[in-house]
Amino acid sequence: MHEILIEEKILAKNGEIASENRSFFKERKIFAVNIVSSPGAGKTAIIEKTVPLIKDKVNLAVIEGDLATDLDARRLLKFGIPVKQITTGKACHLDAHNISHILPWVLEQKGVSLLIIENVGNMVCPAEYDLGESIRVVVMSVAEGDDKPLKYPAIFSSSDALLLNKIDLLGHTDFDIDKAKENALKINPYLKILETSCRTGEGINEWCAFLEGEMTGAEVKA
């Protein structure tokens, strides 16, 4: 009982800070994307493919969340964009408090309109923690089970888009992509589903077009 109450208080506090973060982003017209997945699904590779296609169109910055090391952050620095590392230690997710501490750095980058946040690789904890993002994108690779949406429903129900990644490996796995889509839409019928391969580049243009469309839609709503 005590554990449940403590968790409720933690999530309530996180919600308050997330709301403040969201107001910060909205006031400054910053579109924040929270990218979540299990480890190894290809979040960093997707960002690597995305940045060259959009960096001349929008001012962007990236926040990298990892349990340890700055290896992924260093992969992105080669593109000449601002990248900030958050090392969580034992924490298996980013939370709104983590992001709130980075907001002064975001302001220092002058005119950022797109903030990409790569969350810690985990399909469970990040689902519970709103960061104040504009949209949440879940990445699932074809090297995983097509029943994953049924096993981890919270992350899929709380996301706006699903990237089915590494589709170049489909011929080498038993992954049923139609079943995966069906399972995901059972959990969240509003989920936008895109197929991507960072190795071949398939679907990356479509993903970038979706992202730019979401940014434009957010500007219209504002």
User: What Å distances lie between residue 124 and 25, 53, 97, 151, CA to CA?
Assistant: 25, 31, 18, 10
Instruction: Just give the CATH number of 2-221.
Output: 3.40.50.300
Count CA within 13 A, CB hemisphere, residue 79: 23
Q: Return the pLDDT at 72.
A: 93
Question: pLDDT confidence of 8, banded at 50, 70, 90?
Answer: confident
The residue written with tokens 């958050």 in the block is 86
Instruction: In whole angstroms, give the CA distance from residue 175 to residue 73.
Output: 30
Here the tokens at position 82 are: 């601002």
Task: Report the C-alpha gap between 108 and 50 in whole angstroms.
Answer: 23
Cβ atoms of 88 and 98 closer than 8 Å = yes
Q: What pLDDT, on the 0 to 100 scale, is given for residue 11?
A: 87
Query: Which H or E element spans position 176?
Result: none
Window from 24-33, 53-62, 91-100, 213-222 with minimum mean pLDDT: 213-222
Q: What is the pLDDT averaged over residues 37-44?
A: 96
- Stretch 35-58: mean pLDDT: 97
Interval 83-110 mean pLDDT? 95
Predicted structure pTM score = 0.94
- Domain residue extents for the chain: 2-221
| pLDDT tens by residue, 103-122 | 999 999 999 999 999 999 99
Smallest Cα–Cα separation from 140: which of 125, 156, 127?
156
Least confident range from 21-25, 69-73, 164-168, 180-184: namely: 69-73
Residue 35, both tokens:
């990218």
pLDDT at residue 77, rounded to an integer: 96
Cβ atoms of 144 and 170 within 8 Å: the answer is: no
pLDDT category at 163 given cuts 50, 70, 90 is very high
The reported pLDDT for the residue numbered 90 is 84
Q: How many CA atoms lie within 13 A of 130 on its CB side?
A: 17
At residue 99 the predicted structure's pLDDT band, cuts being 50, 70 and 90, is very high
- The reported pLDDT for the residue numbered 3 is 60
Separation CA 64–CA 119 (nearest Å): 7
Give the integer Cα–Cα distance in Å for 15 and 130. 7
Q: Where are the alpha helices (DSSP H) in the chain?
A: 2-27, 43-54, 71-77, 96-108, 148-151, 153-157, 177-187, 204-221
What confidence score (pLDDT) does residue 124 get? 94
**Comparison of pLDDT for 62 and 5, the residue scoring more:** 62
Share of the chain above pLDDT 90, in %: 90
- For the sheet with 135-141, list strands across it: 83-87, 60-66, 114-118, 31-37, 135-141, 161-165, 192-195
Q: What pLDDT is stored for residue 103 in this prediction? A: 98
